[in-house]
Amino acid sequence: MTLLEKLPKFVLITTYIGLTLVLLIIYWFFWRPVLFQLDGARNDDFKVFLTGVSIVESHGYDHVYKIDLQKNAQKEIAPSLVQIEGGLLQFNHPPMLLPLLRPILDENVQASYYRLMAVNLVVLVGCAWLSFTYLRSSGINSKGAALILVPLFLLMPLQVNLYQGQDILFVLLGLLLFLRSIQNDKKILGGIGAGLTAISPHLALIFALPWFFSKRNRFWYIVLGGAVMAAFSIMLVRFEGMIDYLAMLSGSASAEGSYFGINKFRMVNFTGFILRFWRSVPASLLSLITWGGFIGSLIGLAWLHHKNKDANGERLAWLLGFSVLIGLFFAPHLHVHGLLPIWISFLVWASNSGVHKRRGVLLIGSVLLFASLLMTPFLFIWIPLRSLGVFAVIFVAIWLYIRDFEFSQTGTA
């Protein structure tokens, strides 16, 4: 008898409901000013997108990644940001987003904020529908699927994305399209999903490249999706703009990237984990460790894909979920909102035939809820301790993946 089978069902139900209620209370205080006092536009992270659109309107797409222009634009849009180190919170998001942002954002800051939130909510509905249909197709009934979706909706990274107007929901949508393409064997759909993940280049690379070593026919659709997005971006900002964008990304990911509002100590990735224990680590050494971990994770995932090159169906979904977990942890740049793709990893875990029973669903839901509780800034928990709690959840998730599937196992379609 497993530990899960030994646990009284009453304990699992009580834990699930209790954590749900606690998070709902916390999120009530989190969202109340935005929904009832309409002061969400005070959010400085959202104003980064206004900065990018403002430069497009005044100087064109090809100048959007010029640091001096961003500083000048931000002085008008968000004077408070001038006080941060470097005097700028960078617009370092991909060019492909700008045509979408341009009709949504304008000089009316408050209206722009709520229009962008509405767009993100539409994307979230699409993510919810894809997740529900994936779970149902995996053999989980409607009640079980709902019990999984509730904790996913309560993920703290999702709340932060909606509040800040971040773009990671599009990455999640892309990953969900790719996951459904594995389940339905529709490679073109997977290519479209892969193209959307290019919004987060570091995660896209670590997610996409290992498929070359397992399913090359699927890999070329991934390359095609990414190439379309890259070509569209170059068409918008031209080659000089792309060079500026890549240079900005390189600066954000480097060990010296504490300027321009990038606080590496608050990151929830490998870099942040090192800094919890070694705050005085030399910048050059930290950069070496960070990129060493990133490259090492790519090599490890490539080997894992190669070992499973004959796998299909459920096993390929497992590879995707595991790759996302590893990619998030070893991404050179990752704050709490960037953890949202962990949605994919828990969704795949939930679809595993070994947890179709209600007990397993309740356990997975409780783990997700507890993870969100650790991430919330409203608990008066010392920040390093809170972050280590988040790392603990990631490590437990990785261990569960390794436990549930031996590397030598192959799935069937």
- Decide if 307 contacts 166 (C-beta within 8 A): no
| Token pair belonging to 311 | 């796998």
**pLDDT tens digit string along 116-130?**
889 999 999 999 999
- Decide if 98 contacts 53 (C-beta within 8 A): yes
pLDDT of residue 352: 67
Residues 169-191 have a mean pLDDT of 87
Range of 148-152, 274-278, 337-341 with top mean pLDDT: 148-152
Instruction: Answer whether residue 353 shows pLDDT above 50.
Output: no
Instruction: Answer whether residue 378 shows pLDDT above 80.
Output: no
For CA atoms 147, 148, 149, 152, give the dihedral sign: positive
Q: Is 126 exposed, middle or buried (0-12, 13-18, 19+ CB in 10 A)?
A: middle
State the DSSP code for 187: H
Confidence band, pLDDT 50/70/90 cuts, at residue 167: confident
Q: What percent of the chain has pLDDT over 70?
A: 78
Query: Vertex 332, ends 328 and 336: CA angle to 5°?
Result: 50
Q: What is the pTM of this model?
A: 0.84
Residues 310-320 have a mean pLDDT of 78
Instruction: Answer whether residue 380 shows pLDDT above 50.
Output: no
| Token pair belonging to 162 | 């909606």
pLDDT of residue 176: 93
Instruction: Answer whether residue 193 shows pLDDT above 90.
Output: no
- Residue 356 DSSP SS3: coil
